[in-house]
Chains A and B, each alone.
Chain A
Amino acid sequence: MKKINNFLHQSLYVSPFHIAKRDNIVWWKAWIIRIIAVLIALLVCGTITIALTDINPVKMYFTMIDGVVGTPRLVWNMLQNTAILLCISLAVTPAFKMRFWNIGAEGQVLIGGLATAICMIFLGEKLPAPILITLMIISSIVLGAFWALVPAYFKTKFNSNETLFTLMMNYIAIQLVAYFTLEMSVPKGSGTPRVLEYGQLPVLFGQKYLINILIVAVITVIMHIYLKYSKQGYEISVVGESEKTARYIGINVKKVVLRTMAISGAICGIAGFLIVAGTDHSLKSDSAGGRGFTAIMVSWLAKFNPVFMVLTSLLIVFLEKGASKISEVYRLNSSFSDIITGIIIFFIIGAEFFINYKIKVNLKDKEERV
């Protein structure tokens, strides 16, 4: 009788399964889970596309690929877009590794771009290109770093919530840039952004975007080395993992937070510089185009690893470009790509659950207890 009673109690209070953290997963298994997730997501997107339109999904995916790598110009375009997104993703990564939620990349990029644009307009005619470009880089780095240091300072000094603070800083930057754009537009007040003639980055080997791509490639390598092999990168990891350990071994946590955010903002500034001087040759309030936010997803999806980030940023750009090609060919709305990107990110986010956790059936437990 007691046993039955006992069993009843156990079955009532122990749910049929529970979720346990996986200790480790072989890297290729993790990638298989991710790839499966992307495939399911593509299937879902295909289904949705058919439901909304009458497009043959196989043809649709071919159109997509064609739209991204169909011509050399498209390929360069994609590489250039990937480079910028990758650059911003690299910028936010050290902060995230430190568990500092810098979601202010959008603003830091724009402020960097603003610094560049101001140099181009006011010093453009007066200075030779090499000096001008050096000044542009320095000013965008300084301003980008400053924009990131403000929330970092208040975080270290008063423990202000960094997520909300950096978020708000974005919109101040956007308004500042909008103001500037309007003031500097030609004719004044018309809203048509001024074309910035002086200080454009040089065209290498006849390829307009090559220098951007090269600069970002260098930053990628440096960031990889910085995070993995430098003492500062090591300090970032320790602070992110456990502040208590950091103090135990004598790391000045506040200093590391400020330094890392300055680096994060500085690279965002460089991204702004590349957008203004290397790509658009103009500045608008949507020059960053939401990439400051997308970069957060790119960095997170790559597990904060700069090498994987090349792949994840390529994936995101591929999806965006591909989906916008579809909408162009099938005369769909251009926002179609946002939906597709959203769905695929949801699936990849979901896949992380199966990588980090396993679902266990509680049978064994019950037997033991009775």
Chain B
Amino acid sequence: MEQNIALELKNITKTFGNVIANKNVSLKVRKGEILSILGENGSGKTTLMNMVSGIYYPDHGQMFIDGKECIIASPKDAFNYKIGMIHQHFKLVDVFSAAENIVLGLKDEKGFDMPNYIEKIKEITEKYGFELDLQKKIYEMSVSEKQTVEIVKVLFRGADILILDEPTAVLTPQETVKLFKVLKNMRDSGKAIIIITHKLHEVLTLSDYVTVLRKGEYAGTVKTSETNEAELTEMMVGKKISLNIHRSVPENTCDRLVVQKISCMNREGTKVLDDVSFTAKSGEILGIAGIAGSGQRELLEAIAGLGHLDEGKIIYNDPKSGKEENLRDKTPLQIRQMGVRLAFVPEDRLGMGLVGNMDIVDNMMLRSYKKGKSVFLQRKAPKSLAEEIIERLEVVTPSANTPVRRLSGGNVQKILVGREIASSPTVLMAAYPVRGLDINSSYTIYNLLNEQKEKGVAVIFVGEDLDVLLELCDRILVIGSGRVTGIVDGRSATKEEIGLLMTKSSEQHDEE
């Protein structure tokens, strides 16, 4: 057996219900080595690493640590095997200082000696070159500082195998450079490091080996020095699969929504949309492709009147009056009062688009309840709408008076999309509308979107599956780190082309 292999996985399989998250995945990482796990969203990277860190338990397969087979059934086990994982969502107490968070939950026999702990933490930060003010409170920190706290926390607990889930997703280019420097320092002092990522150039600059996952399956491992972007992209996206989604040729299109140079920042002060411009045309489906969290949500929310913009304009061309209206900084109510029929299927279905505890009829009313002068609700129209949607979209539900949270994901989505298109919109935005849906429900949604397109609606479809985007959309806008990295034709573009545009980061932009 090969020496100094820190962690090895053999034929790991994990299913959730009928969904296969990981199928026969194998990988190994040696001490003093950085391994990247590369794959698109939903390819099973995080699930795999959650099994290593004890959050999930595999259905089949074996794990070896230092060559010995082991069972990791809980986060505590993982801790005992000196495995530490840094999740995408940080688990930190806001009002505590960095040092307090780092020592939180530790139980050692000796007393609670904060100065002594701080000394020890400092040893670690100096050893690997972290820049961290240990007295600083978490709520005063930037995302990158918070991430540093998480990494130091794991190291302080003595982890030898570090797993980082999308560590650069929230960082600026400069912060990324810094992070890579400490990761390399850690590698050089003998730690085994796994980073989950989908950014190609990071893989190429940082890691020693790359393991690629594709739709839950193992697509192979290559040595970084012996590969290139094109090969990795092909491994990641695979061969094109034909889905047979109907697509008609757009007719009589005109500019419906013109987005001009919009920019905005999030609460932490990072730019999430940077100079974004595009046009959505009536009678066509505009796809938006990009790695999750590249600004898709902010873009749609800005158009829908839910987010604040720092710069730019959102021009809506009214088909009836032919007037131009600027939607920037308008509330959803104002937008509706201006006569703009904008439908929005948000990513967070039960948290935003629908009210889980209300029944289908009451959820139908969300958009329309204000209509009319009466102070009372009109439940007749929503009720017949609910019944119509249930029948037409084949929603499986005991009745129209069932709370929506008790329906399955596909049925919830049908209700939401059904309601949004019922208002005969002129613009329809849908964020990940088929996420978590089975094949049949997905096709129902595709058909609905196509139907709207043929009616002359400007459809904006944010998707993650490139095969779907390429078969459904007329044009595809690719977004990377809040910037438009390209707009391609849906009929002629290739997966590799889009894949490369997606992984083009702002860093490369800056270099151009």
Contact = CB atoms under 8 A, between A and B. Distances in A.
A288 B367 CA distance: 42
Interface stretch (A135-143, A203-211, A226-234, A306-314): A226-234
Given A9-B77, A13-B73, A234-B362, 16 more contacts: A5-B71, A9-B71, A9-B73, A230-B375, A231-B374, A232-B375, A237-B358, A238-B355, A241-B358, A242-B351, A244-B352, A245-B351, A247-B306, A248-B344, A248-B352, A252-B333
B216 interface: no
Contacts of A251: 333
Interface residues of A, number: 29
Nearest to B371: A231
B447 interface: no
Given A9-B73, A230-B375, A250 B356 contact: no
Interface of A: 2, 5-6, 9-10, 12-13, 23-24, 225, 229-234, 237-238, 241-242, 244-245, 247-252, 369
Contact of A249 (B71, B74, B358, B366): B366
Contacts of A230: 375-377
B406 A23 contact: yes
Interface of B: 57, 69, 71, 73-74, 77, 304-306, 331-336, 344, 346, 348, 351-358, 362, 365-367, 369-370, 374-377, 403, 406
A225 B336 CA distance: 28
21 contacts: A5-B71, A9-B73, A24-B403, A225-B376, A230-B377, A237-B358, A241-B356, A242-B355, A245-B352, A245-B366, A248-B306, A248-B332, A248-B346, A249-B332, A249-B366, A249-B367, A250-B305, A250-B332, A250-B334, A252-B333, A369-B57
A234 B355 CA distance: 11
Report which residue of A6, A12, A231 has the largest number of chain B beta carbons within 10 angstroms of its beta carbon: A231
Nearest to B368: A249
Given A5-B71, A9-B73, A237-B358, A245 B353 contact: yes
A23 B365 CA distance: 23
Contacts, number: 77
Contacts of B376: 225, 229-231
A10 B358 contact: no
B332 A24 contact: no
Contacts of B71: 2, 5-6, 9
B428 to A, nearest CB: 15
Contacts of B335: 250
A231 B377 contact: yes
Contacts of B377: 229-231, 233-234
Report which residue of A10, A242, A252 has the largest number of chain B beta carbons within 10 angstroms of its beta carbon: A242
B17 to A, nearest CB: 12
Contacts of A13: 73-74
B332 A247 contact: yes
A139 to B, nearest CB: 25
Report which residue of A24, A244, A247, A250 has the largest number of chain B beta carbons within 10 angstroms of its beta carbon: A250
Contacts of A250: 305, 331-336
A229 B69 CA distance: 63
Report which residue of B77, B353, B355, B374 has the largest number of chain A beta carbons within 10 angstroms of its beta carbon: B355
Nearest to A251: B333
Contacts of B332: 247-250
B50 to A, nearest CB: 15
B351 A238 contact: no
A13 B75 CA distance: 10
Nearest to A228: B377
B18 to A, nearest CB: 15
A159 to B, nearest CB: 15
B242 to A, nearest CB: 36
A245 B354 contact: yes
B145 to A, nearest CB: 25
A199 B89 CA distance: 63
A229 B334 CA distance: 25
A315 to B, nearest CB: 26
A237 B375 CA distance: 16
Contacts of B346: 248
A92 B267 CA distance: 35
A248 to B, nearest CB: 5
A137 B365 CA distance: 36
Which 5 residue pairs are nearest across A and B when measured between Cβ atoms? A250-B333, A250-B332, A9-B73, A241-B355, A13-B74
Nearest to B304: A248
A12 B80 CA distance: 15
Contacts of A252: 331, 333
A234 B57 CA distance: 44
Contacts of B355: 237-238, 241-242, 245
B353 A248 contact: yes
Report which residue of B332, B353, B354, B366 has the largest number of chain A beta carbons within 10 angstroms of its beta carbon: B366
A6 B403 CA distance: 40
Nearest to A24: B406
B392 to A, nearest CB: 23
A236 to B, nearest CB: 12
B358 A244 contact: no
Nearest to A241: B355
A229 B57 CA distance: 49
A242 B332 CA distance: 16
A231 B333 contact: no
Contacts of B73: 9-10, 12-13
Report which residue of A225, A229, A238, A245 has the largest number of chain B beta carbons within 10 angstroms of its beta carbon: A245
B14 to A, nearest CB: 12
A310 B352 CA distance: 34
Contacts of A234: 362, 365, 369, 377
A245 B353 CA distance: 6
Contacts of B365: 234
B329 to A, nearest CB: 14
A249 B355 CA distance: 11
Contacts of A12: 73
Nearest to B336: A250
Report which residue of B77, B348, B376, B403 has the largest number of chain A beta carbons within 10 angstroms of its beta carbon: B376
A129 B344 CA distance: 57
B357 A241 contact: yes
Given A9-B73, A234-B362, A248-B346, A242 B375 contact: no
B402 to A, nearest CB: 9
Contacts of A237: 355, 358, 362
A231 B406 contact: no
A255 to B, nearest CB: 11
B399 to A, nearest CB: 12
A105 B409 CA distance: 41
A24 B403 CA distance: 10
Contacts of B356: 241-242
A10 B57 CA distance: 10
Report which residue of A23, A225, A247, A249 has the largest number of chain B beta carbons within 10 angstroms of its beta carbon: A249
A248 B344 CA distance: 9
Given A5-B71, A23-B406, A24-B406, A231 B351 contact: no
A23 B335 CA distance: 37
A106 B355 CA distance: 32
